[in-house]
Structures are given as structure tokens and as C-alpha cells.
Amino acid sequence: MPEKSITLYALTTCVHCKKTKEYLDDCGVKYDCIFVDKLEGEERKQMIETIKKVNPNLSFPTLLVDEEAIVGFKKDQIKDALER
């Protein structure tokens, strides 16, 4: 599998975020996981603006695989994005 830029924007209390994180771990890919609810102040505001650029509804999880945004735990869509 080619190396991809993968970032998971998640909330610590979100069940779908946990499932997405577990699936990425099972796939053995390297990714960054940012728990937005652990951020504070300006850092949190900036992260929210970053997420809104790819997911205007600001729902979680938001997964970025290279330039592709996947919102929610969509296993098949995540698998396809990782294999491209």
C-alpha cells in the first residue's frame, strides 16, 4: 500500500470516531489523530476552521486521505481510499 497523508479528526466521546480509529489501526497505516475536543482556545478555533474547509457541517469523524474527505465511519469508502 503506498504511503498516504492520513489525518483523522475525532472527538474522544464519539463511537464512530473510535471505530474509524480501530479500523485504521487494523489496516496498519500511519495516520495522525487529532481529538478536537482536547484542544483549547485559538488552537481549537483554527482546527475547526481547517475541518470546515473539507466538511462544512463539522461532523465527526472526518478523515482525510490525501485530499479526499470521508465523513463518518464508512469502512468501504475508507478501504477504497487507502487502496488507491
The model's pTM is: 0.93
Share of the chain above pLDDT 90, in %: 93
Residue partners of 79: CB distance under 8 A and separation at least 6: 27
- Average pLDDT for the chain: 96
What single letter denotes the amino acid at residue 83? E
Q: In the chain, where are the structural domains located?
A: 6-83
CATH of domain 6-83: 3.40.30.10
CB atoms under 10 Å from CB of 48, counted, come to: 13
38-70 pLDDT tens trace: 999 999 999 999 999 999 999 999 999 999 999
CA distance 47 to 40: 10
Q: Using CB atoms within 10 Å of the CB of residue 34, give its burial: 0 to 12 exposed, 13 to 18 middle, 19+ buried.
A: middle
